[in-house]
Amino acid sequence: MKYYLYSLFKNAAANLEYLKDINITFEVPKIGSHGDLSSNAAMLLTKKLKRKPREIAEEIITKLEIDPKIIEKVEIAGPGFINFFFTKSFITEITKDVLALTDNYGKSNKYAGKRANVEFVSANPTGPLTVGHGRNAVFGDTLANMLEWIGYSVDREYYFNNAGRQMRVLGDSVRLRYFELLGQNVEFPQDYYQGEYIKDIAKSLLDEHGNKLLNEPAEGAFKEKAESEIFKDIKKSLGRLGIIHKTFFNENSLYEEGKIREVLDAFKEKNLSYEKEGAVWLKLTELGNEQDKVIVKSTGEPTYRLPDIAYHTNKFKRGYDLMIDIFGSDHNATYPDVLAGLKALGYDSEKVKVLIHQFVTIMEGGEVVKMSTRKANYITLDELVDEVGSDVVRYFFNMRDISTHMNFDLAVAKKQSDENPVFYLQYAHARICSVLKMIEKEELKASTENLDLLVTNEEQQLLRKIHTFREEVLVSAELHESHRICSYLEELAAAFHKFYTFCRILGTEKKLAEARVALAMATKIVLKNGLSILGVTAPERM
């Protein structure tokens, strides 16, 4: 629908110069009586032209070459909106497109040929993934799906660090548990990793090596075993949600390949770093940030900023047009430094988008559960998937804008599972499948011969919803907001259920019945496609 209007206005702009000065947009009005699409162009021009908006709207309309087969009515309303009413036959035509394109209906090629990298999860291998990681994981994967739907070629990436203090503590935690298993009396420090999984790792080391590891340093076999076991579990947890990363990028490789050194030299060369008190500082104040920050400690170890910058230069060199980083809100203070550093090195930091999601507050029985991997008082992503299943987890985390703080009451999530909107959508899909089976028995088929018969309010509303799917996917992907897909699908399912209640298929005249079958099939396709973007299944039976 929009594409038609865009071309109309483009042609009109040849006669009306001022139309070229503004960004023409069309919106679906909230109220049905305001038409199918609406433009506020006249109001935007009021100031510039110093004329009344309704008068301008009047003039614009006279210049539009409207095809009466497509547009039934154009009117000026309110302060100066131009409302367009499409003909019913134009609305019903979409059914043909959907049935022809099936799994591809909703895809667009606006970004075809572009490459994107989505970095998400990126938890260091110190323990199982928590519910908090779940939001990051699900959102990242869904965003990657959405980008693919608008034409991007997308790589999913996981960045991790297996060096440093936290990994030493991890290795030593395993070592101490190993000693315990050998019957030694050890004191287990409070700030070590308390989780049961540490004991499991120690146990498997004992099974493999007996007591031969008594003199092994914490950073040797203990750390290595811990890392490999934990990573195995992390990949398994992600796999249960259908998430597979193409690349696991090890921070350490940046050191081994001298990339850290390169970045450091580049800063020095551009005179953007200086030494003070034995450390190397980056002149962030000259780059517009609040204060200078240390990039190499006086001990000679870099801070996180340096590898992060080096990591992103690596991404740039791999030729991505869009690089997305997904972080929890605890990282909110770090990325401006990294972006400023990249910009200073001559990279187009606009290509890097940092998306910060707010934390998930876990409630259990009305009480807030504090989360810490170290203290082991967290709820794992696996436990959550065990309780409610992958579909609900994926839908739940996608349902809401990532910038909102989210309350996740475990008791409610478990108990209320059949009140979750995901079942509403899946039910609509299963219902259609069931109807289609019935149709076969009655020797009816889908037909697009007589779509003009679909004139009731319920049919038209459903068709309109189907019309906007492609646009909705495009906008959601561009805004990086997966919750819009959820809202869309809930509205689509509602429109279908309403259609289903008011427009019967069996027992109606054959031509109309077959047109309705076609509409039901089209709805099924859109539902399934939308759910697949979210990574949620579309079952034929429930």
Partner RNA sequence: GCGCCAAUAGCUCAAUUGGAUAGAGCACCUGACUUCGGAUCAGGCGGUUAAGAGUUCGAGUCUCUUUUGGCGCACCA
Residue with tokens 């697009």: 448
Which residue in 17, 30, 65, 215 binds RNA (CB under 7 A)? 30
Kindly indicate which of the ranges 129-137, 223-231, 339-347, 405-413 contains the residues binding RNA, using the contact rule CB under 7 A. 405-413
Site residues (CB under 7 A) for RNA, limited to 116-145: 124
The residue behind tokens 């109220």 is 31
CA distance 373 to 371: 7
Range 161-180, binding RNA (CB under 7 A): 161, 164-165
* Shortest separation between residue 207's beta carbon and RNA, angstroms: 32
Identify whether the C-beta of residue 58 lies closer than 8 Å to the C-beta of residue 45: no
For the beta carbon of residue 174, count every other beta carbon within 10 angstroms.
29
Nearest to 237 by CA among 116, 93, 127: 127
Query: Mask: binding to RNA, 418-457, rule CB under 7 A, as x and -?
Result: xx-x-xx--x--xx-xxx--x-------------------
Q: CB under 7 A: which stretch of 113-121, 341-349, 375-383, 500-508 binds RNA?
A: 500-508
Residue 110: other Cβ atoms inside 10 A: 11
Nearer to RNA, 27 or 97 (CB): 27
CA distances from 494 to 182, 427, 459, 472, 516 (A): 62, 11, 12, 17, 17
Minimum distance from CB of 382 to RNA (Å)? 23
Angle, alpha carbons 98-104-108 (nearest 5°): 100
Helices (H), 21-130: 41-49, 53-63, 88-92, 94-101
Q: Which of 304, 321, 512, 532 binds RNA (CB under 7 A)?
A: 304
Question: Which segment (99-107, 199-207, 216-224, 277-285) binds RNA by CB under 7 A?
Answer: 277-285
Find the Cα–Cα–Cα–Cα dihedral 123, 125, 126, 130, rounded to 10°: 40
The reply to whether 504 sits near RNA by the rule CB under 7 A is yes
The sign of the torsion formed by the CA atoms of 250, 251, 252, 255 equals positive
Rounded to 5°, the CA angle 542-448-485 comes to 45
Question: Rule CB under 7 A: is residue 399 a binding residue for RNA?
Answer: yes
Closest CA to 354 of 306, 404, 312, 400: 312
Q: Is 503 in the site for RNA (CB under 7 A)?
A: yes
Cβ nearer to RNA, comparing 187 with 419: 419
Q: Tell which one of 20, 232, 270, 276 touches RNA (CB under 7 A).
A: 276
Residues 180-219 that bind RNA (CB under 7 A): none
The residue from 9, 81, 311, 347 that contacts RNA (CB under 7 A) is 81
389 binds RNA (CB under 7 A): no
Residues 6+ apart with CB under 8 A from 539: 426, 429, 430
Extract the tokens encoding 482.
């997966």
379: Cβ contacts below 8 Å, ≥ 6 apart: 130, 131, 362, 369, 371, 410
Is position 43 an interface residue for RNA (rule: CB under 7 A)? yes
Does the protein bind RNA through residue 44 (CB under 7 A)? yes
Nearer to RNA by C-beta: 285 or 407? Answer: 407
- Asked if 79 is part of the footprint of RNA (rule: CB under 7 A), the reply reads yes
- Facing residues of 350 across strands? none
Question: Cα Rg for the chain, rounded, in angstroms?
Answer: 29
Binding mask 325-364 for RNA (x = CB under 7 A): ----xxxxxx---------------------x-xx-x---
C-beta closer to RNA: residue 179 or 327 = 327
Among 119, 172, 229, 481, binds RNA (CB under 7 A): 481
Give CA–CA dist 67/7, Å, rounded: 12
Shortest Å, Cβ 107 to RNA: 20
Query: Shortest CA distance to 471 belongs to which of 10, 35, 36?
Result: 36
- Binding-residue total with RNA (CB under 7 A): 90
Minimum distance between the CB of residue 460 and RNA, rounded to whole angstroms?
14
Closest CB 487 distance from RNA, rounded Å: 4
Distances (CA, A) of 277 to 65, 261, 271, 293: 73, 20, 18, 13
113, 299, 366, 509: which one binds RNA (CB under 7 A): 299
Other CB atoms within a 10 A radius of the CB of residue 140 amount to 26
Q: How far is the CB of 473 from RNA (least distance, A)?
A: 13
Q: Does 71 bind RNA (CB under 7 A)?
A: no
Residue 28 CB, nearest approach to RNA (Å): 4
* In the complex, minimum distance from the CB of residue 1 to RNA, in angstroms, rounded to a whole number: 12
Give the integer Cα–Cα distance in Å for 512 and 505: 8
Rounded to a whole number of angstroms, the minimum distance from the CB of residue 309 to RNA is 12
Cβ proximity to RNA: between 269 and 333 the closer is: 333
